[in-house]
Amino acid sequence: MRVFAPALPLAVAYSGGADSTALLLACADKWPGQVSAVHVHHGLQAAADDFVAHCQAACAMWQIPLQVLRVQAGHAPGESPEDAARKARYEAFRALAHEGQAPAAIKNIALAQHADDQVETILLALSRGAGLPGLSAMPASWQRDGLSYHRPLLAVPATEIRAWLVRRCASFIEDPTNTDERFTRNRIRARLLPVLGDTFPQFRETFARSARHAAEAQALLLEVAREDLLAVGNPPALAALQELSQPRQANLLRHWLQASHRATPSAAQLAQLLAQIAACTTRGHQIHLKVAAGHITRAGAHLRYAA
């Protein structure tokens, strides 16, 4: 928090839990009159209305403006509840800034993820065999839909946040889903983090450093992918694509599919696509491969993606 200096005014995503309570109070202390709270009602728990009531009472006591955004965060088949809730939150924040639900000046939103959350994210990425984007974990700041997002607590352990709240005599609510070990993240928090702390006392700092290294490497790969896509064209020309090494082909294709079509190929799909590109040595050779929600085909001298 000491080096956190966002543009003001600032909105803080406030769930009523310990982490967002600490962030909201710290920001309000630092920039009095320039901070507001935003609570997202997901409609997923019976206690959600009680969370709203707590946040309203707390913000009234602290004299911090509060806006409650109601979303429907039900998940689609194959989508995790956590992913669905996150998408709904970002859509609510986008609407907050762009559809007249808040003063137009609010372009900065602070989120309360902390050092333990970052470690959990890295471990989840490792368990899924993620590449550099996943191992980069959560960025400290980024932009989306014209808004600037910040995570000023990423270097702060959860225990320090709770201790600070005790010293402030600040009340907060406990979300019962945070202790439900049916969720993988909660099992990591309850079972793995204590063992890591006993074995590697500095694991939060070292994991965060590894995530920063991964993020730097991913940024370099993205720069190379953009340059390569400019060289081979959009959509990619097969002949120019084949002149690149397979790792650069894979890097370019991931970027092209994501940047131009919002499609993310699986490792198996990308491997099949690279094999088909390598085999495409005659005019009559066809390419047809399912990737994400669409298909990649050959259209003359180029690749084509259609959803």
- For 161-204, how does the pLDDT look when each residue is reduced to its tens digit (9 = 90+)? 999 999 999 999 988 878 888 888 999 999 999 999 999 999 99
- Bridge partners of 303, per DSSP, are 298
66's enclosing H/E stretch is: strand 66-70
Would residue 2 count as lying in a domain?
Answer: no
pLDDT at 101 over 60: no
Same domain, 160 and 285: no
Nearest in space to 276 (alpha carbons), one of 296, 248, 254:
296
Same domain, 39 and 119: yes
What is the domain range of residue 237? 233-306
Q: How many domains would you assign to the chain?
A: 2
CATH number reported for the structural domain that contains residue 267 in this entry: 3.30.465
Would residue 217 count as lying in a domain?
Answer: no
Q: Which two tokens stand for residue 274?
A: 């690279």
Same domain, 42 and 119: yes
Indicate the pLDDT class of residue 155, thresholds 50, 70 and 90. Answer: very high
Same domain, 250 and 180: no
Query: In terms of pTM, does the model score above 0.75?
Result: yes
Same domain, 239 and 170: no
Residue 231 exposed, middle or buried by CB count within 10 Å (0-12, 13-18, 19+): middle
Answer with the residue of higher pLDDT: 92 or 131.
131
The tens digit of pLDDT for each residue in 243-254 reads 999 999 999 999
Would residue 216 count as lying in a domain?
Answer: no
